[in-house]
Amino acid sequence: MRITAPFTILLFVILVACETAPEVVATEVTTAETSTAYDPAFAARVGADDYGMKQYVMAFLKAGPNRDRDSTEAARLQAGHMANIRRMAEAGELVLAGPFLDDGELRGIYIFNVKTIEEARALTATDPAIQAGSLVMELKPWYGSAAMMEINAMHSRLKKPSE
């Protein structure tokens, strides 16, 4: 039986794929992020207590008294608001942020990586939407999983780059 070139190439590709695919899967499955064993170095890095938790401050963003703006000014404020969110996230001060999907008075939340209301108030004061009175904040101390400190790093792997 004579083996043709296309068949030889196909066989080679299949053999190479079979040899390399298990290594890729094994690498993905055995990373530290998927381990279920206690990792003291990871716990220390994210600031976890003995329960795997830590203190944060949660901010409820509410509609402020000064919301009547033309579309140009509203777009400018929104761009500044988003730039401030990115800056705080990159600095490790903001763990999570997001809007609510209805059009109610409660507009969104922040979770700050700080221990005091005063620290969170200083961070919210940097937001152009707060400065303009378009949003107001209600701040509450909150106790949650220290794993939340990894959200921004994971999110960067999920978000498609802007074009």
Q: For residue 34, what pLDDT is reported?
A: 61
On whether both 83 and 23 belong to a single domain, the answer is no
On whether both 21 and 55 belong to a single domain, the answer is no
Q: At 94, is the pLDDT very low, low, confident or very high (cuts 50, 70, 90)?
A: very high
Flag whether 102 is in a domain.
Answer: yes
User: Distance (Å, rounded) from C-alpha 163 to C-alpha 161?
Assistant: 6
On whether both 16 and 84 belong to a single domain, the answer is no
On whether both 51 and 108 belong to a single domain, the answer is yes
Q: Range of 93's domain?
A: 45-158
pTM check: above 0.85: no
Residue owning tokens 């004061």: 125
Is the pLDDT at 19 greater than 60? The verdict is no
How many structural domains compose the chain? 2
